[in-house]
């Protein structure tokens, strides 16, 4: 067998800093996505219950869930994907202002999503994904330079959401902001606060 040559390179002083920065930014985006998932689920009790039923059936009796099982939960995937569509990064622009790719506008365009401001995971279920036009769903960008942390972020969010939904029921409380109020963080929009009522499931 032919031996492959591997280029060995010492770490520079900036490599650990760069890696730590990337992990920190990933934690912030995952936490923000979980906050938005919770916000949408408290406003849609039927969706929350359907997700809970799917998630509970997937956990082992010891409270663990294997990666391949997590990766095959279609409704969990659709809920996370719909959350990323509804709350994708973006800013409001004024008339005449120069813009780059307006991801938020694409995700909220009636031409691509018939009810763009309604949280509905069903159109993003596997059997409907073929209807989503190319480059109209861009929470992680697209092409060869899309988000390098996409798979890790999705895994982290899905696992976190599965554990939350398995053990707790979330609902709107008097302090819940409807509609959600945004604050700017790094390159993403985050909810200013996510006040919810939490009940332990029995």
Q: Which residues are annotated as a binding site?
A: 147
**Six-digit token string for 167:** 């053990």
Q: What are phi and psi of 56, to 5 degrees?
A: -60, -40
Neighbours of 39 (CB within 10 A): 25
Helices (H), 44-142: 45-58, 67-70, 74-86, 103-107
Neighbours of 32 (CB within 10 A): 21
Question: What beta strand segments (E) does 92-200 contain?
Answer: 168-171, 182-185, 188-191, 197-200
* Measured distance CA(76)–CA(80) in Å, rounded: 6
Residue given tokens 């280029």 in the structure block: 7
Binding-site residue numbers for heme are 147
**Six-digit token string for 197:** 């009522």
Indicate if the alpha-carbon torsion angle 90, 95, 99, 102 is positive or negative.
positive
């Amino acid at each position: 067998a032919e031996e492959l040559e591997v280029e060995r390179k010492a770490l520079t002083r900036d490599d650990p800093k760069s890696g730590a920065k990337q992990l920190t930014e990933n934690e912030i985006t995952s936490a923000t996505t979980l906050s938005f998932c919770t916000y949408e689920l408290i406003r849609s009790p039927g969706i929350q219950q359907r997700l809970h039923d799917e998630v509970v059936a997937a956990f082992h009796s010891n409270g663990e869930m294997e990666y391949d099982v997590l990766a095959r939960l279609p409704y969990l995937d659709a809920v996370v994907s719909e959350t990323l569509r509804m709350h994708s990064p973006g800013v409001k622009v004024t008339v005449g202002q120069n813009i780059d790719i307006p991801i938020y506008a694409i995700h909220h365009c009636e031409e691509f999503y018939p009810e763009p401001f309604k949280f509905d995971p069903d159109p993003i279920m596997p059997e409907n994904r073929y209807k989503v036009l190319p480059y109209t769903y861009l929470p992680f960008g697209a092409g060869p330079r899309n988000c390098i942390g996409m798979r890790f972020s999705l895994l982290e969010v899905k696992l976190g959401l599965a554990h939350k939904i398995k053990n707790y029921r979330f609902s709107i409380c008097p302090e819940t902001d409807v509609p959600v109020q945004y604050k700017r963080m790094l390159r993403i929009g985050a909810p200013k606060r996510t006040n919810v009522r939490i009940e332990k499931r029995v």
